[in-house]
Amino acid sequence: MSKADFKSPEYYFNRELSLLKFHERVLAQAKDENTPLLERLRFLCISSTNLDEFFEIRVAGMKHKAALASLQTEADGLTPQQCLEQISVEAHKLVAEQYQVLNEELIPALNREKVRFLPRQKWDQKKSSWIKRIFTNEIRPVLSPLGLDPAHPFPRVSNKSLNFIISLDGKDAFGRDTRIAIVQAPRSLSRLIQLPESLSYRTTSFVFLSSVIHAHIDDLFPGMKVTGCYQFRVTRDSDLFVDNEEIDDLMGAIKGEISARRLGDTTRLEVADNCPEEISDFLLQEFKLGTDDLYQVNGPVNLNRLVESFRLIDNPELFYKPFNSSLPRRLQKTTDIMEVIRNGDILLHHPFETFAPVVELIRQAAHDPDVKAIKQTLYRTGADSPLVNALVEAARRGKEVTIVVELRARFDEEENIKLASRLQEAGAHVVYGVVGYKTHAKMLLIVRREGRKYRRYVHLGTGNYHTETSRVYTDMGLLSCDAVLAEDVHRLFIQLTGLGRATRLKKILQSPFTLHKSLLQMIQNEIDIAEQGRPARIIAKMNSLVEPSVIEMLYRASCAGVTIDLIVRGACCLRPGVAGVSENITVRSIVGRFLEHTRIYYFYDDGNEKVFGASADWMQRNLFKRVETCFPIEETSLKKHVINDGLMVYLSDNTQAWLLQESGSYKKLKPGSQKPRCAQAILLEQLSAKI
């Protein structure tokens, strides 16, 4: 066994910087010429949205720690201030690359495909006249220019809103010598305006709202001279704070926090790259930010608004080819899903296989007079989804419907409040889990009378009960009526809805009680086997790997000779390939058409392969501060499917896989002389229905 100090900071990457590396990999998809052109634009938008959330949550939290002069460090040893300094360097590089990709690669390529985003210098007289009418009739009436003087202080600028700062000369109607004004663009205005066919000349052409306002800014200040007009946007702290010790109404507390979110502490200022230094300094001072927080951009300050163009562009060649999710073979033979489940477990592999059986199961349960109760956890679902419609119908038909709604699903809080209210109005029992612990588990329990006994049907998943994201996220779900598994799910719901001590579960591992301890024990078991000279292997697929004690155990396993393959989409704090520490560990990230979201844990166990699906990543919050489930896949054919199609196909990917290096950089694998293998494309070919 190595004598290395496995707790040494040199063996750990910083979580925030590792997360930025993931955002870089997403942006790399926007540069990949093998990706359809508008999908490349979509990846650019996703990278922008990801970075917004990074500043809203991760940077905001780090700034709070730095403001307290905290010297507390994570496993990597960086203080909050040191972390912020490195984030600034890397984030500035990333933003510069985003706009370079937009301006130098995507816009020219789109022009060649007759999709055009027209700058002001490309407006001819006819276009200018049409745009002038749009501004006069549809835009100017909702704009409210605000001059800054003692009676008009700097306005409260909402999170991520589009704004303009204008410099002026002259005096207004009241003789005021106002030099600075602010114009805020209401969110109701589309950030992209499509030109009519008569002006597009056989192209699909757009102009930016920011360009239209800029071109006509003089109209808002009659009699004065506009000497400068510069767009800007601020990002604010958007993490909700709910004091678990003080609240007596969780929904009310969250409603209050949601309304305050738009005006949280600022974390970033974006301005046009031609904005003079004195103007940007004025804004930095107003928002209490430093120069490291300033991002000068060559284009629209919110790249994500470019997605508005997708629904207006009619060219299928510029998008991914459509596909139809398939139905597992056993479900094709009958419409009675519960009958199929009684004959054996069913595994659903999304998006290649459809999520529809889960919705249909609830719909059938709602109409089945023998079904007496339905219990479900909902994290991100949507108040108007067909799944919720089925639950509402079940409640209205007199079923005992109990729903655990996690109100604190970040950025879905408002939707979840609507969801909870709708279910309550239908007569369902709605609870909000356990204060202080997010309910992140994905569980469904249906209780049905069959003869003199009750049989329970369960669904356990790695992803959310969201019909739309099931088309773009990879996830797995297990449908079963195994009595022991169902009893475990029943006990979990009792924990969430009632009171009492946690009871022992026989098959399911759960956070915050048994999952972390069990993971360490299973890793230790592989260590013991390897030390006896027998083959030992661990494969795990997840979104993030951060928790230090799990990483330390993986280091110990590597030193004992255990082969460890990790498929970690996002942040990974483990440093692979270090001699004497982690030379038996590989870490890869798959970034492709679908968001890799499946959590799978595999332990060779001396040939008695153990395979689990889970809702939890290997992070502190998932293992200690959330209610999570980790469920075994036991049926032989299903276990084989999970190993082959959930893990091995990804380990063979040489087109969309990025290998984490000892240095912390990621290297994209290339086929070279090998046959190209893309895991997602292979699964689409093998599992999805043919069109």
Q: What is the pLDDT of residues 574-598, one digit of tens each?
A: 999 999 999 999 999 999 999 999 9
Indicate if the pLDDT at residue 445 is higher than 90.
yes
| Predicted structure pTM score | 0.93
Res. 653 pLDDT band, cuts 50 70 90: very high
Which tokens hold the place of 189? Answer: 């205005």
User: What count of other Cβ atoms lies within 10 Å of the Cβ of residue 459?
Assistant: 23
Share of the chain above pLDDT 70, in %: 93
Spatial separation of the C-alpha atoms in residues 422 and 207, rounded to whole Å? 40
Q: What are phi and psi of 368, to 5 degrees?
A: -85, 115
Domains of the chain (ranges plus CATH)?
11-245+262-318 (3.30.1840.10), 329-506 (3.30.870.10), 510-687 (3.30.870.10)
Considering the chain, what is the average pLDDT of its residues? 92
pLDDT at position 150 is 61
Determine how β-strand 595-596 pairs with β-strand 473-480: parallel
In SS3 terms, 346-410 reads as EEEEECCECCHHHHHHHHHHHHCCCEEEEEEEECCCCCCCHHHHHHHHHHHCCCEEEEEECCCCC
Question: Average pLDDT, stretch 144-162?
Answer: 85
Question: Average pLDDT, stretch 492-508?
Answer: 88
pLDDT at position 526 is 98
Q: What is the pLDDT of residues 281-296, one digit of tens each?
A: 999 999 999 999 999 9
Q: What is the pLDDT of residues 522-570, one digit of tens each?
A: 999 999 999 999 999 999 999 999 999 999 999 999 999 999 999 999 9
Angle at 630 between CA 404 and CA 557, to 5 degrees: 150
pLDDT at position 247 is 43
Residues involved in catalysis: 440
Q: What is the pLDDT of residues 459-482, one digit of tens each?
A: 999 998 989 999 999 999 999 999
From 411, 477, 401, 480, select the one nearest 442 (Cα to Cα): 477
Question: Average pLDDT, stretch 98-124?
Answer: 96
Q: What is the pLDDT of residues 202-219, one digit of tens each?
A: 899 999 999 999 999 999
Res. 12 pLDDT band, cuts 50 70 90: very high
Question: Average pLDDT, stretch 610-614?
Answer: 98
Question: Average pLDDT, stretch 634-648?
Answer: 98
User: What count of other Cβ atoms lies within 10 Å of the Cβ of residue 182?
Assistant: 20
Q: What is the pLDDT of residues 72-86, one digit of tens each?
A: 788 999 999 999 999
Indicate if the pLDDT at residue 201 is higher than 90.
no
Spatial separation of the C-alpha atoms in residues 94 and 23, rounded to whole Å? 8
> In the chain, what's the furthest Cα-to-Cα distance?
90
Show Cβ contacts of residue 535 under 8 Å, excluding neighbours closer than 6 positions: 529, 563, 604
pLDDT at position 544 is 98
pLDDT at position 151 is 59
User: What count of other Cβ atoms lies within 10 Å of the Cβ of residue 39?
Assistant: 17
Task: Tell me if 560 sits within 8 A of 540, measured CB to CB.
Answer: no
pLDDT at position 242 is 46
Task: Tell me if 684 sits within 8 A of 471, measured CB to CB.
Answer: no
- Higher pLDDT residue, 203 or 174? 203
pLDDT at position 294 is 98
Q: Could you identify the residue written with the tokens 């155990």?
A: 553
Question: Average pLDDT, stretch 180-190?
Answer: 93
Spatial separation of the C-alpha atoms in residues 574 and 619, rounded to whole Å? 12
User: What count of other Cβ atoms lies within 10 Å of the Cβ of residue 196?
Assistant: 9
Res. 244 pLDDT band, cuts 50 70 90: very low
Q: What is the pLDDT of residues 125-151, one digit of tens each?
A: 999 999 999 999 999 999 999 988 765
pLDDT at position 510 is 97
Indicate if the pLDDT at residue 505 is higher than 50.
yes
